[in-house]
Amino acid sequence: MPPRSFATDLSDLIQAIGLLVRRVRAAAASHELSLTESAVMARLAREGPSTTANLARAEGMKPQSMGTTVAALEEMGMVERKPHPSDGRQVNIQLTAKGMAARKSAKEAKLSWLAHAVGQLDKKEQATLLAAGEIIKRLAEK
């Protein structure tokens, strides 16, 4: 068998990461949020209330698309609109108690699935995987 190329190894890595992400997301699929909706809720949980325009910039989306996402989350009761504290012309979007509870539940389901899966690896594989996670994070943050 000929040696594998670097491009093949990279392609396999991309596929493996994608499969892992899909499996982790499937663990919390009962929450039925799109990837964008989940990302917006995560950002609001992490950074606090934000305007639709700021959310759109942060997520690399058009403001109109973000408006649609926010409206869907609002309809589900996950977020609410509140007056901006310093600019009366703007409105902040923030998580509701239901949105915070849904995030917590989804996060716990994902962590539970991943902990179970990683727990089936031997200690050396676990250490290697966790070290790879740090390297992947550094790459993603560049």
Domain boundaries, the chain: 1-31+97-142, 33-95
Could you give the angle at which helices 52-59 and 35-47 cross, rounded to 10 degrees? 110
Name the pTM for this structure. 0.75
State what percent of residues in the chain have pLDDT above 70.
99
State what percent of residues in the chain have pLDDT above 90.
78
In the structure, what pLDDT confidence band is assigned to residue 31 with cuts at 50, 70 and 90?
Answer: low
pLDDT of amino acid 36? 92
pLDDT of residue 142 exceeding 90: no
Distance CA 25, CA 31 (A): 10
> What DSSP character marks residue 86?
S
Distance CA 59, CA 84 (A): 20
pLDDT of residue 30 exceeding 70: no
pLDDT of residue 3 exceeding 90: no
Q: How much is the average pLDDT of 107-118?
A: 94
The pair of structure tokens assigned to 117 is 């899966």
Average pLDDT along the chain: 93
Q: How much is the average pLDDT of 10-35?
A: 87
CATH T-level topology, domain 33-95: Arc Repressor Mutant, subunit A (1.10.10)
Look at residue 73 and give its three-state secondary structure: helix
pLDDT of residue 29 exceeding 80: no
Distance CA 61, CA 43 (A): 14
The pair of structure tokens assigned to 131 is 């070290």
Distance CA 66, CA 51 (A): 10
